[in-house]
Amino acid sequence: MKKFALLLCAATLALPVFAHEIDRAALNNIMTRSSIRRFQKKAVSKETETILLKAAMAAPTAMNRQPWAFIVVRDPATLKALAAAVPGAKRPLATAPMAIITCGDLSKAIPNNTFWTQDLSAATENILLAVNACKLGAVWCGVYPIPANMRNLSAILKTPKNIVPFSLIAIGYPETPQKPKNKWNPALVHQNLW
């Protein structure tokens, strides 16, 4: 009984401390993310792929519509075709062993509203953060709203009409470690009014 009371007391005392504790590792993961465009010849495991996709689907979406779908490409011929189809992806896809193409599913999106693009941006950033946490590297290559990029990816990946390619993320083990850029600028922050 005495032992139980002691335990309860310790737990109660520990709780407020835990609630206010800053998760430094989580913040560090955000602050150390950097775009990576050259990769080692090393495959990304299926387990890691699942972690990245789970992170994507953990993102917030307007009205919780989750208007997305993800295409994982590892086939070298398809990666080559994607590199030729999206100019911004040419360099990273020259060495990346895999890519994830995030897509908007317009059949699930809020009608007459482009919130789905923000939902897909959140999913894309979540993948980039999970990539960094897994000690991999990645770069977000813009697809939407460039008509040629979207058209080309739809044709290569044989997507149905309701599916719109949104971003292409080249992923792999970084060739060399990359220092994150320091973008912090307090002059850009306004308090209460501009």
Ligand X SMILES: Cc1cc2nc3c(=O)[nH]c(=O)nc-3n(C[C@H](O)[C@H](O)[C@H](O)COP(=O)(O)O)c2cc1C
State the residues that interact with ligand X by CB under 6 A: 34-35, 37, 88-89, 92, 139-142, 181
Q: Which is nearer to ligand X, 67 or 92 (CB)?
A: 92
Instruction: Give the DSSP per-residue string, the chain.
Output: -HHHHHHHHHHHHHHHHHHH---HHHHHHHHT--B---B-S-PPPHHHHHHHHHHHTTS--GGG---EEEEEE--HHHHHHHHHH-GGGHHHHTT-SEEEEEEEETTTSPTT--HHHHHHHHHHHHHHHHHHHTT-EEEEEE-TT-HHHHHHHHHHHT--TTEEEEEEEEEE-BSS--PPP----GGG--SS--
**Smallest separation, CB 139 to ligand X (Å):** 5
Q: Is 48 exposed, middle or buried (0-12, 13-18, 19+ CB in 10 A)?
A: middle
Q: Which is nearer to ligand X, 2 or 124 (CB)?
A: 124
Q: Which is nearer to ligand X, 72 or 94 (CB)?
A: 94
**Smallest separation, CB 98 to ligand X (Å):** 16
**Smallest separation, CB 158 to ligand X (Å):** 22
Q: Which is nearer to ligand X, 160 or 180 (CB)?
A: 180
**Smallest separation, CB 146 to ligand X (Å):** 9
Q: Which is nearer to ligand X, 65 or 90 (CB)?
A: 90
**Smallest separation, CB 142 to ligand X (Å):** 3
